[in-house]
Chains A and B, each alone.
Chain A
């Protein structure tokens, strides 16, 4: 994966397990970007993300002795980062997590809510503005946590369906279902947002 391109050699798992400081530092160097990104997207708050980042690596360093090599270090760290983020959310807003546990199986409702506005033709700068980026982060933040984690790993971090399933301890079918929901909800949100922008751009 691309994170490894600055380093000639992959991590030495045996050295990690014996607590070799150079190797641990290398693990942090290689994977702190991805862990921070996940935490930031899960929590949408830099200071909370930093807490989760630190907790993730502290847990990882404690648990590395038990690391099973059927997974990669990368996937394993993703798993810890998502779990730490969820734990953080549970502590902060227990009521929000409870609401998300409720089943949401009404597919028909999903379709009737679909808005059809073709906003793809907006000028590219519309998608790059800082306002637009802030809105996107908020929209991701508004996804229920169980959809959000799937979306972040698959569409932001670029994991395969199988890797996402492995990291989150879900079946591949489950990942696909949640991914579809997450993407459609986000599309819905952006359609609302850019639909309004289209009307404004026309009047500018």
Chain B
């Protein structure tokens, strides 16, 4: 199966492709392939979605204020740790 073989070769460029950093030549080749390869299209879309989901979650990860206070305390900087108002 020639096509599957081609898919395999293209996998290594998918990461650069979703980052927009793939060389123009490879990008054209990949996009041409995507036009008639449903499987690779799904892989590209789910790869993009995976990265999107990860980035959406990022904003929810802030240091809890008690953890931060203990950090200031541990560093002997306790007087700087208490200014925060939620």
- A: residues with CB less than 8 A from B are 21-22, 24-25, 28-29, 32-33, 36-37, 40-41, 46, 50, 53-54, 57-58, 61, 107-108, 110-111, 114, 116-120, 127-128, 133, 136, 140, 155-158, 161, 176, 179-180, 183-184, 186-187, 190-191
Within 8 A of A (CB), among B44-85: 45-47, 49-51, 53-58, 60-64, 67-68, 70-72, 74-75, 77, 80
**Could you say which residues of chain B place their CB within 8 Å of the CB of A32?**
63, 68, 71
CB-contact partner of B43 in A22, A37, A127, A187, under 8 A? A187
Task: Verify if B34 is at the interface (C-beta below 8 Å from A).
Answer: no
Indicate if the CB atoms of A186 and B50 lie closer than 8 Å.
yes
A22 to B42, CA, bound (A): 52
| Extra pairs beyond A37-B58, A50-B67 (13, CB < 8 Å) | A21-B80, A24-B75, A33-B61, A36-B63, A36-B67, A53-B71, A54-B70, A61-B75, A114-B43, A120-B46, A128-B56, A140-B54, A180-B11
With contact pairs A50-B67, A107-B12, A111-B11 given, residues A117 and B42 touching in the complex (Cβ less than 8 Å)? yes
Shortest distance between the CB of B5 and any CB in chain A (Å): 10
Shortest distance between the CB of B14 and any CB in chain A (Å): 7
- Interface size on B, as a range, is 35 or more
A-B contact pairs, 14 of them (CB 8 A): A21-B80, A50-B67, A53-B67, A54-B70, A58-B74, A61-B75, A108-B8, A110-B11, A120-B49, A136-B57, A179-B15, A183-B15, A183-B18, A186-B54
With contact pairs A111-B8, A155-B55 given, residues A28 and B75 touching in the complex (Cβ less than 8 Å)? yes
Task: Verify if B16 is at the interface (C-beta below 8 Å from A).
Answer: yes
A46 to B64, CA, bound (A): 10
Tally the A-B contacts, defined by beta carbons under 8 Å: 116
Report the nearest A residue to B80, measured CB to CB.
Answer: A25
- B: residues with CB less than 8 A from A are 7-8, 11-12, 14-16, 18, 21, 39, 42-43, 45-47, 49-51, 53-58, 60-64, 67-68, 70-72, 74-75, 77, 80
Looking at chain B's contact residues, the main secondary structure is helix
**Could you say which residues of chain B place their CB within 8 Å of the CB of A24?**
75, 77
**Could you say which residues of chain A place their CB within 8 Å of the CB of B42?**
116-118
> What 10 A-B pairs come out closest when comparing CB atoms?
A25-B80, A180-B15, A36-B63, A187-B50, A111-B8, A118-B42, A120-B49, A37-B61, A116-B39, A54-B74
